[in-house]
Amino acid sequence: MQQFFYILCYLSFLLILGVIIKSKFKIFQELFIPASIIGGGIGLIIGPEILGKLSSFSIPITWNKDISLLPSILIVPIIASIPLGMNFNIKNSKGEAKDIINTSFILFIVTFLQLAIGYFVNFIYTYILGKPLYPTFGAELNTGFAGGHGTAGMIGKTLQEMNIDYWQISQGIATTTATFGLIGGILIGVYLINRACRNGETSLLKNPSHIPQELKQGYYKDITKQNSIGRETMLSSSIDTLALHVAIIFSVCGVSYLFLDFIRKYKIPILSSVSVWALAMILMISVWQIIKKLDLEWCIDVKIKSKISALLTEFAIVSAVASLPLRAVFTYFLPITIMLILGFIGTWYCIKYYCYKYFRNNYAFERAISITGTSFGVFLTGILLLKICDSEFSSPVLGDYSLGFSITALIGPLMIVSAIILSANYGVITPLLLNIVLILIFSFILQKINKN
């Protein structure tokens, strides 16, 4: 237990180091690299994978093993927190509801496409080139791109629960794709914005604006510009607001672990194969519905919940990067590179096609660039790119994009895990064909929804 505390202190130091380095070096600011990735990179350098090979001084191997487990542990409360406080307020006009549905469906299609691309690379290597990759290789593209560093722990957790020994390699590759996706998403996004502006494709942006220095540095010195993290829904005479939100999230996680142990003890069919994070998310949906039925939703603040999730994600990212199994990942250097290139190209042209088709004369580029940011990096990447195009958020894009993303965030992880389970049990062809079929089905439904 004491070692866990030491590790927590060590990761905290890496995060602070990341903040300092980002604030001092322009290259990290221009690339919008988060402090958690910078700190994790420092941790990787001074860890047993690099410094440990060059000298006797490095972070203990036992620490590194425990750190590598953290992302798969932290992903449980991160995903469990998603439904808490979530409200799908789409009772607007028919047109507004359709825009939200279109956004969600495009995000789903991107999920299926990224999974298909990843498994296609696996298929080529395994069946065409005769160089077999492990069965689940390919899921890491969508896990890292659309999911991000936090979700990279999900793939490790899922494979761990399936007693598959290459879980750490897969988690490492997912972390790698997440890093390239985050950086590439910003660079590609800014390039696309500048090109679209020159071609007159942007609805609001007439000249590529200068990105505020605060966004690059990652902080505001002006106190008046600093946002509040949320409402104080409880008084300290009862319980601290932050403590209440943390307690709800971790209580649901705890009950989920107990429930899953019970299910597996009695070997209940189908349910025995469910991951603990999926069970926690389902249970949280029920808990949130109960809270609303009891008219207690006033005690939950989405901003505070999001900050707790963000805090856990920061530690998940820094631990995932710091414990990256470099040698194992380099073994798959070429297929990873091919997968990344196809992923970048396929994702953008897929998003552009659907957005320009179904959002014609309705902020098509702005919608495309926000979805692209999310599909390469994280939700905030999409917001950052959208802010460049729509600095005042005067268009309806942000609202439609946020609600559309919420729907995908709820169901998307389940689809990733389904693909992992299918590939582990039946080989790469099954999830490849399934995701191609799903792309066709969702495209057909999208066409019907938008049929005049």
* Tens of each residue's pLDDT in the chain, 452 residues: 788 899 999 999 999 999 999 988 888 887 778 898 899 999 999 988 888 888 777 788 888 888 988 888 888 898 888 889 877 655 555 566 888 889 999 999 999 999 999 999 999 999 999 999 999 999 999 998 987 777 777 888 888 888 888 888 998 899 899 888 888 888 898 889 888 888 888 887 776 655 667 777 777 788 888 888 889 988 888 999 999 999 999 999 999 999 988 988 887 776 776 778 888 888 998 999 999 999 999 999 988 998 998 899 889 889 988 988 888 788 899 999 999 999 999 999 999 999 999 998 888 999 999 999 889 987 778 888 888 887 777 788 888 887 788 778 778 888 888 899 899 999 999 999 999 999 999 999 999 998 86
Contact 71, 156 (CB under 8 A): yes
Total tally of structural domains belonging to the chain: 1
Residues in CB range of 434: below 8 A, 6 or more apart: 419, 422
* Extended strands (E) in 260-362: none
Q: Is residue 222 part of a domain?
A: no
Give the CA distances from residue 173 to residues 47, 237, 315, 333, in Å, rounded to whole numbers and listed in that order.
18, 47, 18, 9
Q: Is residue 420 part of a domain?
A: yes
Instruction: Tell me, rounded to whole angstroms, the distance of Cα 67 from its chain centroid.
Output: 19
Overall residue count recorded for the chain in this entry: 452
DSSP, res 234: S
* Cα distance between residue 355 and residue 365, in whole Å: 7
Residue with tokens 């209580």: 251
**In this structure, is residue 225 part of a structural domain?**
no
Is residue 245 within 8 Å of residue 309, measured between CB atoms?
no
DSSP string for 110-129:
HHHHHHHHHHHHHHIIIIIS
- pTM higher than the cut 0.85: no
Domain holding 284, by residue range, is: 1-211+237-451
- Classify residue 146: in a domain, yes or no: yes
Sign of CA dihedral 245, 248, 251, 256: negative
Q: CA-to-CA distance for 377 and 344, rounded, in angstroms?
A: 11
Q: How far is CA 306 from the centre of its chain?
A: 14
Is residue 219 a part of any domain in this protein?
no
For the chain, the C-alpha Rg in angstroms (whole number) is 22
Quick one: pLDDT at residue 216?
73
pLDDT of residue 428: 94
- In a domain, residue 160? The reply is yes
Whole-angstrom distance, CA of residue 313 vs CA of residue 304: 14
| Cα–Cα distance measured from residue 315 to residue 337, given in angstroms and rounded to the nearest whole number | 27
Q: Report d(CA 132, CA 90) in Å as an integer.
A: 47
How far is the C-alpha of 415 from the C-alpha of 413, rounded, in Å? 5
Give every CB contact of residue 284 below 8 A, 6+ residues apart in sequence: 80, 81, 82, 83, 84, 249, 252
pLDDT tens figures, 391-418:
777 788 888 887 788 778 778 888 888 8
159, 141, 135: which is closest to 71 by C-alpha?
A: 159
Angle, helices 379-389 vs 397-426, to 10°: value is: 150
Residue written as token pair 């995060």: 15
Domain assignment present for residue 194? The answer is yes
DSSP conformational letter for 132: P
**Rounded Cα distance, 98 and 366, in Å:** 17
Helix (H) or strand (E) holding 260: helix 241-265
* 331 inside domain: yes
| Helix, strand, or coil (residue 136) | coil
